[in-house]
Amino acid sequence: KTLMQPELKMVVGGAMKESMQRIVTPAIKSAAPPGPAPPKSAARGKRGHKGPLSKNVTTQIAKSRYRRDPREIIAYNTGPRAWYRHFVIQGTASHSLAKGARRSTGTLQSAPPIHPGSTADNFVEEAVSGKNAEVAAYLGNAVIRRYAQAVRT
C-alpha cells in the first residue's frame, strides 16, 4: 500500500507534533522561571489566571495552508500560554502605578508609585537553542515509525 498526499501530511504532521511535545515542551518547562502560585480563583476557572509559566507550555498548529498548496506541511508553535508571557519574555519599561496613569497620553507617568520595570528573560530561546539535532533525529524516527504503521493498516 502506498500513501497519498493527505495521508502523508497526517503522518508527518503527527510526527512533528509528537517530536515537539516530547523534546521541546519539557525543555521550555524546565527553563521557565518560577512564578507565583495561582490565586484561589484559578481553581474555579476564572479567565486570565492560569498559574506559573511552566505549567502552561503547549504545542499548537502555527501554520497550515494545505488547501492552497499541497506541498506545504504544517508548522507547530511550542511555548508558554499564560496571558502574561510577553511581560516575562520581553520585559517591561519603568512605569507609574498611579490610578489613571496612561502611557499613550503621558498623563501621570511620573506620579508615584513608580514600578522600575522588569528585565527580559527569553527563556524559550535559551531552552530550545541546543535542541535542533535532537528534534531532527526524533522526527526522522517518528516519521518512519508512523509511515510503517500507516502502510500496515
Mean pLDDT score across all residues of the chain:
78
Handedness of CA 151, 77, 54, 25 (dihedral sign): positive
Q: For residue 6, what pLDDT is reported?
A: 72
Statement: residue 21 has pLDDT above 70? yes
* Per-residue model confidence as pLDDT tens digits over 130-141: 888 999 899 999
Q: For residue 50, what pLDDT is reported?
A: 46
Give the contacts of 33 (CB within 8 A, at least 6 positions apart): 53, 88, 121, 123
Share of the chain above pLDDT 90, in %: 7
Statement: residue 118 has pLDDT above 70? yes
Cβ count near 126 (within 10 Å): 12
> pTM above 0.85?
no
